[in-house]
Amino acid sequence: MTTKYTKDHEWVRVEGNIATCGITAYAAEQLGDVVFVELPKIGRIVSQGDEIAVVESVKAASDVYAPVSGEVFDVNEALVEAPEGVNEAAETSGWFTKLKLTDPGEVDEMMDRAAYDQYIAGL
């Protein structure tokens, strides 16, 4: 299992050809209390960088971008009923969607945890 990060504060955890995606704890903290999550439709094909979800907080609404390319095959329906799950566990049970990877090489170009931590320290 590999976890990687984007400069837009998304994470992806890859197991085989399945990529679980969400926003980082840093992003959730910056947003404040999440009050609404809009998830993608199952079956949707996305390219790396495409808008894949929307998260609204008491501060702002933000787009969530696909960290990798793939086909949406699962979404975290629990976030629709309890969007605060993003704040409570952004990088575990607060995941947004699962994709079937179409270009596994994209993951290799992303930041690992140490590089991401260094990146956010400079913000």
Q: What is the pLDDT of residues 18-52, one digit of tens each?
A: 999 999 999 999 999 999 999 999 999 999 999 99
* pLDDT at residue number 1: 83
SS3 27: helix
With the C-alpha atoms ordered 116, 8, 24, 72, is the resulting torsion angle positive or negative?
A: negative
Residue pair 37/28 in contact (Cβ under 8 Å)? The answer is no
d(CA 95, CA 20): 7
Entry pTM: 0.95
Q: What is the mean pLDDT of residues 76-99?
A: 97
Average pLDDT, the chain: 97
- Full set of structural domains in the chain with CATH: 2-102+111-117 (2.40.50.100)
Q: What is the pLDDT of residues 103-112, one digit of tens each?
A: 999 999 999 9
